């Protein structure tokens, strides 16, 4: 696995956690959760537009749009749900518990998606090591949540 890819994914994971706190703080400062979510969305759009020229992105034809599975259009809804969760719940739970829950849920879901090859992922069996990894994540989450 190339080191730059691992580094980029590591930074994305760090930013994902910091984003939760930033979104929650934005909500607290503005006092309007939907406005905070709209600000986050506007920032997303600005970054996408700025990155587009460097990514060589062109507009696909109608046939490509028609070939998209129905569930693939729901990614934005899922992303918005995550942003709203950070805005409404991250501050209440704290960074460790919020991130622990979301990351553990993501790992367990990822193993299931890989095992069955669902939503566009290549099939990778849920072998005993992956199942043990999920169990350890759940155990770690329990430890993080203990007070």
Segment 23-50, tens digit of pLDDT: 999 999 999 999 999 999 999 999 999 9
The mean pLDDT of 113-132, rounded to a whole number, is: 96
Q: Give DSSP secondary structure letters for 51-100.
A: HHHHHT--PPPHHHHHTS-GGGGGHHHHHHHHHHHIIIIIHHH-HHHHHH
Residue 128 pLDDT > 90: yes
Q: Which residues of 86-115 are buried (b: 16+ CB within 10 A; e: fewer)?
A: bbeebbebeeebbbbbbbbeebbeebeebb
What residues contact residue 17 under an 8 Å CB cut-off, 6+ apart? 95, 99
Confidence band for 92, pLDDT divided at 50, 70 and 90 = very high
pLDDT at 56: 83
pLDDT band at residue 64 using 50, 70 and 90 as cut-offs: very high
Contact 85, 19 (CB under 8 A): no
Give the pLDDT of residue 58. Answer: 80
pTM exceeds 0.75 for this model = yes
Q: Categorize the per-residue pLDDT at 142 as very low, low, confident or very high, splitting at 50, 70 and 90.
A: very high
Question: For residue 60, is pLDDT > 90?
Answer: no
**pLDDT given for residue 59 in this prediction:** 82
* pLDDT for residue 147: 77
């Amino acid at each position: 696995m190339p080191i730059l890819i691992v580094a980029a994914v590591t930074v994305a994971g760090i930013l994902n956690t910091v984003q939760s706190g930033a979104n929650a703080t934005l909500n607290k400062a503005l006092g309007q959760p939907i406005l905070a979510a709209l600000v986050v969305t506007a920032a997303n759009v600005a970054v996408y537009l700025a990155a587009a020229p460097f990514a060589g992105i062109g507009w696909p034809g109608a046939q490509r749009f028609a070939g998209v599975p129905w569930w693939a259009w729901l990614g934005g809804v899922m992303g918005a749900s995550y942003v709203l969760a950070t805005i409404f719940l991250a501050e209440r739970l704290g960074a460790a518990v919020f991130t622990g829950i979301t990351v553990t849920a993501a790992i367990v879901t990822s193993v299931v998606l890989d095992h069955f090859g669902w939503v566009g992922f290549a099939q990778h069996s849920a072998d005993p090591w992956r199942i043990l990894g999920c169990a350890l994540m759940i155990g770690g989450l329990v430890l993080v949540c203990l007070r």
